[in-house]
Amino acid sequence: MTSLRSVTLQLLERLRDDSVDVDAEYVVAPSSIEEAAGILAAAAEAGIATTFRGSGTHQGYGNPVSADLVVTSTRLDAIVDWQPDDLTVVVQAGVPIGVLEAEIATRRQTAVLPEGIPGSTVGGAVAMGLSGYRRLRYGPTRDRVLQVRMASGYGKVVMGGSPVVKSSTGYGLPRLVTGSFGSLGMIGEVTLKLWTEPMALATVEVVDAAAALNSVYRPLAVIESSEGSFVYLGGPEAQISDQSDRLGAVARRGLSWPEPLSEPILLELRVPALHLGTAVKWIQRLGAPRWIAHHGVGIVSGGFEEFHSKGFSAARAWAESVAGALVVTSGTSESFDPWGSPPPSVEIQRRIKHVFDPAGICNPSVLAGDI
Amino acid sequence: MDAAAELIELLGAARVHTHPIDRQIFAKDAGVSVGDPAIIVLPETTEEVAAIMRIAVRAGSAVVARGAGTGLAGGAVPAAGSILVVLTRMNDIYEVDEIGRTAWVGPGVINLDLSDALTEVGLHFAPDPSSQQSSTVGGNTATNAGGPHCLAEGSTIAHVLGVEVVTSDGEVVMLGGAAPDLPGYDLRGLIVGSEGTLGLVTRVLVSLAENPPVVATMLIAFDDINDAARTVSDIIASGLVPAALEIMDNSMVQAIENFVKADLPLGAAAVLLAEVVGHADGVAAEAEVIRGVADQNRATEIRTATDGAERALLWKGRKSAFGAVAQAAPDYYLNDAVVPRTRFVEVLEEIYEIADRHGLRLMSVFHAGDGNLHPLVSYDAAEPGMTEKVITASREMVRVAVAAGGTLSGEHGIGLEKRDMMSQVFTADDLDAQARIREAFDPDQRLNPGKVLPEGSRCFDRPPR
């Protein structure tokens, strides 16, 4: 930190964020994207490893990063512009998912962000590319990030994408940034596409999730878990009762999602939807006491009390053999890469990292292939 | 050995063209710009495309990809002296996974052929640009093509899971795949919509949509186009996102009727086509909402078609629009700016005013539901000064859309047409970030040079030291 100019030190001092208790020399909370860009410009100049933090709910996801500077989104906490009649919202990165969803729910709208983590921030969910249970019906989160404003790793404010629901105007920066784990800079603000909640919602318990997936048109989700198999429906009452008849079961009003996994070690098998059944068998064979499978999507997540490197390696080898992946999303072990084999495009990925973060200061090595 | 000789050795003389007539044929797409390729090649395999790229690297030639050439923004217009890679022969549907609802296809597969091939298994490829009878999946991928049904389904980007790409140095690399959230950056998401500037797509893994059990298409007539526009805004504001919401103005209705006899109401100032799909009860409820909103906005006629033949006729009218235009005048110019749905009515008024001011004739179809304007000027390019006048008016229309909080292109792409308008929506720093992306994929600017980004976009050459 001694390499910083005094003016930068004053800036860091002024923006100090005392609400967060982490082991780093400086924890700062910029109150604008411009300030975040100023901080990153200084950090890049001085070569200071920097990490980003929302509400800190997913700190164990990705390769561990040691950073001297932590930039938080605590002060970027405004819902900037909600246009309910256009089904879009501009929101700053530090807004908790629960706060955004509660606000837009007043007009029965939803951003379809992950359901079980209301304290997590919008910026965190976008940075990690997190999607919720209703992905089957509404697609992944990345399909709804229309525009992004960020502070780049080279210290500039950069906007990409378009403020409207349909665009073919320039490169898809929002898609690049979604799931980039803060390795290219700090997300400051996103424009999200919204959906209106269906007129009625219901949860139906079924025996065979895979069969249920094909017997109703576009359910919100089909989830098989250690708690049972459930189909989630949305639409007019008459549609829901007809669809639950077709599933041969009684609909419970509302959407009751499985209890979120909270074991110390969490992993996901991500495979082509075709192989989901096999992925479930793998998770069961690994002895996960609790697990959740997303039918039609191709993700099975499992919660474990202990790390089983040998078993995890075998499951990973299988997943990669079907063009999938096994990713540890919490409780990383030093002897086990959380991502697995680097993607075939690792060279291009490296160059992308380099052009956005030439000094290599943004969450160094957080991604697969030490990017 | 020069590049042409090497290419002939690779592909045989029948798949390499350098004759001036061939070069002229392939010099343009369906838009107004004209280029000048040096060599046109027709590869049939990924390996051939990679070998072509390596020859281009050695020769220092630019490489431009082309599908069916139906693009309107000049994305496939070849730079002078370039090697034009026509991918239409790579048109195999390799494998269809009915359970995972995906298919691997060649970039040359024609959009509609893909959906037709899937009818028996009850699936379809959702993007349905008006060009779908001739445009290719590769071209759709390059432009992030849309179409009427992208309102609810999303554009091509939402339906491409993975791409096999030949990079600017001739390597073959797979981006994305059938599994969700693969580790690393979403480079697939960059390739889609990059207009051939980041890599040549040689295979596409598409996701397939389930054919809906019930479909209702509604034709709604209005005496005032603003009532039609307000109906669309009000439907979206009600929270309903139908499968499609398309507005045709009176001139277009007349032209279509002359052309295909789709039984459209000739006297209407505007016709709205609304389609709702899904479960029977859901379709009935949504149709009821649309009917109510249309009534409130003084609809003069509402017809609902649920049987396949009637619906097909309504859509045939809409999809024949661009063919129908040819009767009015030999040329047309069409831009595809987008506005927020809440601003649709006022922007539409301004657009007709601009056309009036320039003494131009608009015949328009709009993807109204997603705010995607399609003001189409029909004109005769042989008339001196006419093309310039049309382009001037069209640029004014785009400016109005941008001023209303919109953007340059909804589905055609930037290409050459809107390249120099990019600074209307992006700052120098924003464009620099996009130029960095291009630099990461194609440091030598070999791929489709001069497209998408205005010259000088890469304005900050070195990071601060």
Complex-level ipTM: 0.97
Q: Taking CB atoms and an 8 Å cutoff, what residues of chain A touch B193? A: 168, 171-172
Min distance B285 CA to chain A CA atoms (Å):
7
**Mean pLDDT of all residues in A200-210:** 96
Angle between helices B344-357 and B386-403 (to 10 degrees): 160
Of B13 and A60, the one with more pLDDT: B13
- Three-state SS at B387: helix
Min distance B360 CA to chain A CA atoms (Å):
26
Q: pLDDT value at position B396?
A: 97
Q: pLDDT value at position A2?
A: 57
Q: pLDDT value at position A1?
A: 59
- Three-state SS at B447: strand
Q: pLDDT value at position A7?
A: 85
Query: Are β-strands A299-304 and B16-17 bridged in parallel, bridged antiparallel, or unpaired?
Result: unpaired
Contact A143 B154 (CB under 8 A): yes
Query: Are β-strands A109-110 and B361-362 bridged in parallel, bridged antiparallel, or unpaired?
Result: unpaired
pLDDT level of residue A5 (50, 70, 90 thresholds) = confident
**What are the Cα distances from residue B46, in Å, to B168, B173, B438?**
14, 11, 22
Do A177 and A150 meet the contact criterion of CB atoms below 8 Å apart?
Answer: yes
Contact B434 A160 (CB under 8 A): yes
| pTM (2 d.p.) | 0.97
Min distance B23 CA to chain A CA atoms (Å):
28
Q: Give me the average pLDDT of each 10-residue run along chain B (465 residues).
A: 95 98 95 95 98 98 97 96 98 95 98 96 96 96 96 97 98 98 98 98 98 96 96 92 95 91 92 96 95 98 90 86 85 93 93 96 92 93 94 96 97 96 98 98 97 87 41
**What are the Cα distances from residue B93, in Å, to A4, A185, B40, B202, B203?**
58, 40, 24, 12, 10
Between CA A205 and CA B139 the distance in angstroms is 43
A254: Cα separation from own chain's centroid: 24
Q: pLDDT value at position B463?
A: 42
Select the residue of B145, B179, B193 nearest A271 (Cβ to Cβ): B179
CATH number of B93-210: 3.30.465.10
Min distance B344 CA to chain A CA atoms (Å):
10
Helices marked H in B244-279 — which ranges? 250-260
A289: Cα separation from own chain's centroid: 24
The CATH class, in words, for A200-253 is: alpha beta
pLDDT level of residue A6 (50, 70, 90 thresholds) = confident
- Three-state SS at A133: coil
Contact A166 B100 (CB under 8 A): no
Nearest to B153 by CA among A239, A191, A137, A110: A137
Q: Taking CB atoms and an 8 Å cutoff, what residues of chain A touch B211? A: none
Which residue is listed with tokens 């074991």?
A263
Q: pLDDT value at position B320?
A: 84
Pick the CATH number of A260-358 from 2.60.40, 1.25.40, 3.40.50, 3.30.70: 3.30.70
Nearest to A170 by CA among B452, B446, B437: B452
Nearest CA in chain A to B177: A323
Select the residue of B177, B371, B425 nearest A323 (Cβ to Cβ): B177
Taking the CA atoms of residue B128, residue A195, residue A325 and residue B115 in that order, the dihedral angle to the nearest 10 degrees is: -20
Nearest to B152 by CA among B246, B247, B285, B72: B246
The CATH class, in words, for A79-196 is: alpha beta
Domains of chain B, by residue range, sit at 3-86, 93-210, 329-436
Domains of chain A, by residue range, sit at 6-74, 79-196, 200-253, 260-358
**What are the Cα distances from residue A4, in Å, to A23, A40, A72, A364, B465?**
19, 12, 19, 19, 12
Q: pLDDT value at position B464?
A: 38
Task: Give the mutation candidate from A171, A195, A240 for the B interface (greatest B CB count, under 10 A).
Answer: A171
The CATH class, in words, for B3-86 is: alpha beta
- Domain pair B93-210 / B329-436, same fold: no
Do B163 and B175 meet the contact criterion of CB atoms below 8 Å apart?
Answer: yes
- Domain pair A79-196 / A200-253, same fold: no
Q: Regarding the domain delimited by B329-436, which CATH topology (the fold level of the hierarchy) does it fall under?
A: Alpha-Beta Plaits (3.30.70)
Contact B190 A109 (CB under 8 A): no
Nearest to A235 by CA among A196, A194, A201, A195: A201
**Mean pLDDT of all residues in A208-224:** 95
The DSSP 8-state label assigned to residue A135 in this structure reads H
Nearest to B421 by CA among A165, A169, A156: A169
Q: Taking CB atoms and an 8 Å cutoff, what residues of chain B touch A86? A: 236-237, 340-342, 371
Q: pLDDT value at position B322?
A: 81
Between CA B415 and CA B162 the distance in angstroms is 23
DSSP E strands, B238-392 = 244-249, 270-278, 299-305, 331-334, 361-362, 365-366, 376-379
CATH number of A6-74: 3.30.43.10
Contact B425 A165 (CB under 8 A): no
